[in-house]
Amino acid sequence: MFSVSLASNFIDSATLADTDIRCDTHWNNWVPIKLNILMWWNKLGGIPTREKLSHRGVEVQSIMCLLCSAAVETIDHLFVGCRELLEIWSRIVIWWDVRLPDKFANDDIMRWADSTSLRVGQRKAFDALLARF
């Protein structure tokens, strides 16, 4: 018998089995679909950062981050490393009364969000806040 859930699980196991992070496609309906897609591409490592574009031969003026100009624009830098975003992360931690993981990288943020103890309603809101699914 066909179900969307079975099809989703099949696609996940066939295409996302190489990664050790949570890569299911249970999207959060509290955020716009394009944000769900962005985070899915993030998990797959498919976001075309300036560094990746440069490696593919696409001419970019600079591979440095447009927000801080202090580091190369990588996926890790965009989501957790940019000093312009550290203030946002510190406010999230205070607001939700949680601790950031010791290792602060893109994949670790996803694991951290999964391991944070929250009630069901809080989990969905927290996931929406982190633009995760």
Domain ranges of the chain: 4-129
Residue 24 confidence (pLDDT):
53
Q: With cut-offs at 50, 70 and 90, classify the pLDDT of residue 133.
A: very low
Please give the single-letter amino acid code of residue 39.
Answer: M
The predicted model scores a pTM of 0.64
- Summarize pLDDT for 45-77 with one digit per residue, the tens: 888 999 999 999 999 999 999 999 999 999 889
pLDDT over 60 at 105, yes or no? yes
pLDDT over 70 at 26, yes or no? no
Alpha carbon separation from 48 to 39, 44, 54, 73, 133 (Å, rounded): 13, 11, 10, 10, 20
Q: What whole-number distance in Å separates Cα of residue 132 and Cα of residue 43?
A: 10
